[in-house]
């Protein structure tokens, strides 16, 4: 459990961080809706589309390690403030990218936003994990997930107040991005003055004169923590299996029901709905009914079974397995974090920055899925069977996460 001032309650800090997650989800919902439009407006080629993905996720790799250094220097609270300001810069750069129809400025905006998101993820996730009891960390993460997803759905609704969403004009997109930029700046000021206590993991203040007997006290490098490194790989696979279903389900629906299916975008809601239900389960059940470790095992098993349903059932039935996939994914992020950073002591902030680098899995697994889909494709359009063969990529990912949740995280105890 974190070291905090005596008598300090968790309610106010969690409420503040919950507001943070809500506003960030709101901004992601807006930018997520407008970014594909900007891609179309800039007439990007397939190769340039890959550069868009690279710009977003390369920031997690490039800035992952520096993020840990920043957090160690200024603490979690100021790092959150800096991350919001960096994200605001990235958001406002979307305006000239649209006004000038400039692809390089568009990539720069995505990369800068990714840097801010990297620092935010490296700050807020360990903060939520260590601010309260270790055994209820996944529950707190689920609570944050609910706030984030609720706001994410509200983004397009908000845009509808200013834009004709069925016929968005390029000269109209500036105003929403200015609004989100302003929201991020206001939120950074709010966080700076908010009563958000600085926290430290157990053993993080170790000195040679006052050694606390922890797993980390005899270590000289974060790379001597095998359970952390396995956690990075588990998080890599998790973000991949979270992103892949949302990125591919519309194409899968068209393969199942035909290219002329009405409103294929409606199927995109299946995965987030499953995740939302899972978040509610986590808040209500962890740790009162089930421990976060057992929840990780259970939900990974559900992910395995759901993946097999998607692969083996007829497409008309298998596509509904995506709801169960979303449900399974809901707990994994929040359950992996506390197990991966457990007993890191003085290496906690550095360990968090390594874990954030695992987010690049959200780019790698969908890319591998696309490669497999093209490999299996026997006609001009991908068939249901082609998609189902490519979805086998979900199985080894869930199996590794299951290994981490049963054996891998225990390595530090041997």
**pLDDT at position 80, please?**
92
Note whether residue 211 is domain-resident.
Answer: no
- Give the span between the Cα atoms of 142 and 231, in whole angstroms: 18
Q: Has residue 105 got a pLDDT over 70?
A: yes
pLDDT in tens, 144-155: 888 888 877 777
Per the structure, how many domains does the chain have? Answer: 2
The residue out of 168, 198, 228 marking a domain boundary is 198
Say if residue 102 is in the same domain as residue 161.
yes
**pLDDT at position 65, please?**
85
> Can you say whether the dihedral through the CA atoms of 6, 12, 14, 16 is positive or negative?
negative
Say if residue 71 is in the same domain as residue 169.
yes
Structural domain range at position 146:
1-198
- Tell which residue, 136, 123, 92, has the closest CA to residue 110: 92
Note whether residue 396 is domain-resident.
Answer: yes
Say if residue 355 is in the same domain as residue 280.
yes
Say if residue 141 is in the same domain as residue 227.
no
Share of the chain above pLDDT 70, in %: 85
Note whether residue 161 is domain-resident.
Answer: yes
Task: Give me the CATH number covering residue 237.
Answer: 1.20.1250.20
pLDDT in tens, 14-52: 888 888 888 777 776 776 666 666 666 777 765 666 677
- Tell which residue, 228, 167, 266, has the closest CA to residue 352: 228
**pLDDT at position 6, please?**
38
Say if residue 276 is in the same domain as residue 358.
yes
**pLDDT at position 380, please?**
77
**pLDDT at position 407, please?**
93
Mean pLDDT of 373-398: 88
pLDDT in tens, 260-275: 777 767 787 888 899 9
Note whether residue 231 is domain-resident.
Answer: yes
The residue out of 140, 166, 198 marking a domain boundary is 198
Note whether residue 158 is domain-resident.
Answer: yes
Note whether residue 214 is domain-resident.
Answer: no
Note whether residue 414 is domain-resident.
Answer: no
Per-residue pLDDT band at 209 (split at 50, 70, 90): very low
pLDDT, the chain, mean: 83
Say if residue 43 is in the same domain as residue 126.
yes
Whether 358 contacts 235, CB under 8 Å: yes
> Can you say whether the dihedral through the CA atoms of 378, 382, 385, 387 is positive or negative?
positive
Say if residue 225 is in the same domain as residue 188.
no
Note whether residue 250 is domain-resident.
Answer: yes
Q: What is the pTM of this model?
A: 0.85
- Give the span between the Cα atoms of 272 and 314, in whole angstroms: 22
The residue out of 198, 228, 249 marking a domain boundary is 198
Instruction: Identify which has the larger pLDDT, 257 or 238.
Output: 238
Q: Within 13 A of 78's CA, how many CA atoms are on the CB side?
A: 8
- Give the span between the Cα atoms of 409 and 125, in whole angstroms: 18
Say if residue 192 is in the same domain as residue 226.
no
Per-residue pLDDT band at 213 (split at 50, 70, 90): very low
Say if residue 227 is in the same domain as residue 180.
no
Say if residue 2 is in the same domain as residue 133.
yes
Say if residue 147 is in the same domain as residue 264.
no
Question: How many residues does the structure list for the chain?
Answer: 414
Per-residue pLDDT band at 298 (split at 50, 70, 90): very high
Q: Has residue 7 got a pLDDT over 60?
A: no
Helix axis angle for 46-92 and 174-193, nearest 10°, is: 50
- Give the span between the Cα atoms of 79 and 72, in whole angstroms: 9
pLDDT in tens, 176-190: 788 888 989 999 999
Collapsing DSSP to helix, strand or coil, 8 comes out as coil
């Amino acid at each position: 459990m974190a070291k905090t001032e005596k008598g300090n309650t968790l309610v106010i800090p969690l409420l503040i961080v919950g507001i943070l997650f809500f506003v960030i989800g709101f901004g992601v919902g807006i930018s997520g809706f407008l970014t594909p439009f900007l891609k179309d407006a800039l007439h990007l080629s397939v190769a340039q589309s890959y550069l868009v993905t690279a710009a977003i996720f390369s920031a997690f790799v490039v800035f992952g390690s520096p993020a840990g250094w920043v957090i160690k220097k200024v603490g979690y609270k100021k790092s959150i403030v800096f991350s919001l300001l960096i994200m605001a810069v990235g958001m406002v750069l979307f305006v000239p990218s649209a006004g000038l129809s400039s692809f390089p400025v568009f990539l720069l905006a995505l990369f800068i936003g990714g840097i801010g998101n990297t620092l935010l993820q490296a700050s807020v996730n360990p903060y939520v994990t260590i601010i309260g009891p270790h055994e209820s960390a996944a529950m707190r993460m689920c609570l944050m997930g609910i706030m984030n997803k609720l706001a994410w759905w509200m983004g397009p609704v908000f845009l509808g107040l200013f834009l004709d969403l069925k016929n968005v004009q390029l000269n109209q997109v500036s105003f929403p991005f200015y609004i989100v930029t302003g929201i991020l700046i206001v939120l950074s000021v709010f966080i700076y003055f908010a009563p958000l206590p600085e926290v430290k993991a157990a053993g993080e203040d170790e000195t040679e004169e006052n050694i606390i007997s922890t797993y980390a006290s005899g270590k000289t490098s974060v790379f001597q923590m095998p359970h952390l490194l396995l956690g990075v790989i588990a998080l890599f696979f998790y973000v991949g299996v979270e992103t892949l279903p949302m990125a591919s389900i519309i194409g899968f629906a068209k393969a199942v029901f035909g290219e002329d299916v009405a409103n294929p975008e409606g199927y995109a809601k299946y995965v987030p709905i499953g995740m939302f239900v899972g978040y509610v389960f986590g808040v209500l059940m962890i740790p009162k009914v089930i421990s976060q470790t057992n929840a990780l095992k259970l939900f990974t098993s559900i992910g395995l079974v759901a993946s097999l349903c998607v692969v083996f059932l007829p497409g008309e039935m298998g596509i509904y397995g995506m709801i169960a996939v979303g449900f399974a994914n809901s707990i994994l992020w929040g359950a992996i974090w506390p197990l991966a950073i457990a007993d890191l002591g003085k290496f906690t902030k550095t360990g968090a920055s390594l874990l954030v680098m695992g987010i690049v899995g959200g780019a790698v697994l969908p890319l591998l899925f696309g490669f497999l889909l093209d490999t299996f494709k026997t006609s001009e359009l991908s068939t249901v069977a082609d998609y189902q063969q490519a979805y086998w990529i979900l199985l080894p990912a869930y199996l590794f996460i299951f290994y981490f949740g049963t054996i891998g995280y225990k390595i530090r105890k041997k």
